[in-house]
Amino acid sequence: MKYLLKLFGIVFPALIWVSCIVPYEPEELVNLDDIIVVEGNISLTGPFSIRITRSAPISTYQYGQRTIKIERNARVFVRDSKGQTYKADTVTAYGEYLFDFSGLRPSLEEEYQLVIESQDGQTYETDFRKSRHSSDMELDYIIDTLEQKIRIFVSSHDDAGMSKYYYWNYTETWDYVSQMPAYCYFDVSKVKETIASRPWMYRCWNSRGSSEILLVETSSLVQDRIIDLEIHSIDFRDIRITQHYSIEVVQTVLDNDAYLYMENMRKNSYDIGDIFSPQPNEIRGNISCVTDPSVRAIGFVSVCNSVRKRLFISCIGLPGYVREPMPPDTVVPLNSTVGFMIALIQQGFSPHTIDPLAGVSYWNLTRCIDCRSKGGKPEVPSFWPAEWPRF
């Protein structure tokens, strides 16, 4: 009984202490519902996109819901200081409003703003801004056999010293092949050979954009010059560099307040995590709701003269990518029932070879045969070099 009383004296206060703990939910995070978020810059010399989404309360993530809502049905256009407007050409399923000023040649001396008329009747506008000159850039890469990775570099300079605040983003595209080429496929009710011995779903292409915020300031340097700045690297073990690889880099020169906005966003995204990190700051930018000033908006849209460069790298023969071991083939008679073959497909198998003399087909793991299982599609990008394989 004495020991039970001691145990009760320890456990009971602990239970009271635990029961007093409640989740900390700052009002600034709980009430971030339906705020419009704008990402992108206006480029007067080529294609660009403006992505528009809406925030959701952080608590919704606890229940498995997406915290980003896509704004697909807004009216989005660019307007100059004389009142001329340029509408978006199209909008993607991800809320990206696509523009292309390549053939329009808007004046580089005018001031421009972005206007968004949302479905809920609100109108959002950025302030008017002039285009910033963007100096030229060069791309290069090295195959680093010591570190076993490909390193990609950018160099840029402005003899006039007017650039100073640089921002880069990129889109990378690569092809890859399945582990085993298949010369047949299952078509509704039977296994068929491919036409002209062309492999089935053997080569796919995939693409993705940069997630890092890449910024450099040269105002403290003697020259407005950047030499061999590494902006990306890929390990030899990565599927992206097993065949062929391309990266398109966009360089944008920002003005000082746009740079500070992006730097603040970078710190809030990457530099928070210990007691010595900077405290998170509210990010708003240069976009506001003109129909109701009490409605909040987040985003900073610059007007720029962006420079694009694309780099192509043939990666055939690079070591490092490890493929999974494949099980022995499963031999299936050609006269097998449809139900049996569908059951095999449901178990993760696909045919790859037909032996008409033996009257059988050979099956193996679909993820080793169908390149689509790794996220890509058998669709050749329009910019892909003609001398590189197409299937």
Dihedral sign of CA atoms 117, 118, 121, 122 in order: negative
- Answer yes or no: is 127 within a domain: yes
- Answer yes or no: is 42 within a domain: yes
Closest CA to 234 of 307, 169, 174, 179: 174
Scan for tokens 């908006």, then name that residue. Answer: 297
- Answer yes or no: is 246 within a domain: no
Grouped pLDDT means (10 residues each) for the chain, 391 residues: 51 46 45 81 90 77 62 94 94 92 86 95 95 87 95 92 90 97 95 94 96 91 92 96 96 90 84 49 81 93 90 93 92 96 96 96 97 96 96 90
| SS3 label, residue 76 | strand
Looking at residue 58, what is its pLDDT?
Answer: 58
Q: What's the count of helices (H) and strands (E) in the chain, helices before strands?
A: 5, 27
Closest CA to 119 of 77, 74, 76, 88: 74
Taking the C-alpha atoms of residue 254 and residue 131, their distance in angstroms, rounded to an integer, is 9
Looking at residue 359, what is its pLDDT?
Answer: 96
Looking at residue 245, what is its pLDDT?
Answer: 98
The total of structural domains in the chain comes to: 1
Looking at residue 67, its amino acid is T
CATH assignment at residue 70: 2.60.40
Taking the C-alpha atoms of residue 363 and residue 341, their distance in angstroms, rounded to an integer, is 10
- Answer yes or no: is 100 within a domain: yes
- Answer yes or no: is 64 within a domain: yes
Looking at residue 25, what is its pLDDT?
Answer: 45
Closest CA to 313 of 144, 168, 146: 144
How does DSSP assign 283-314, residue by residue? --BSEEESS-TTS-EEE---EE--EEEEEEEE
Range of the domain at 53: 31-131+286-301
- Answer yes or no: is 81 within a domain: yes
- Answer yes or no: is 368 within a domain: no
**Residues in CB range of 180: below 8 A, 6 or more apart:** 326, 352, 364, 368, 369
Closest CA to 363 of 323, 327, 319, 330: 330
Taking the C-alpha atoms of residue 375 and residue 120, their distance in angstroms, rounded to an integer, is 36
Please report, for residues 164, 246, 263, the alpha-carbon distance to residue 216 in angstroms, rounded to integers and kept in the order given: 8, 23, 10
Closest CA to 321 of 144, 141, 179, 171: 179
- Answer yes or no: is 290 within a domain: yes
Angle at 99 between CA 98 and CA 101, to 5 degrees: 160
Dihedral sign of CA atoms 99, 101, 106, 107 in order: positive
Taking the C-alpha atoms of residue 11 and residue 17, their distance in angstroms, rounded to an integer, is 10
Looking at residue 390, its amino acid is R
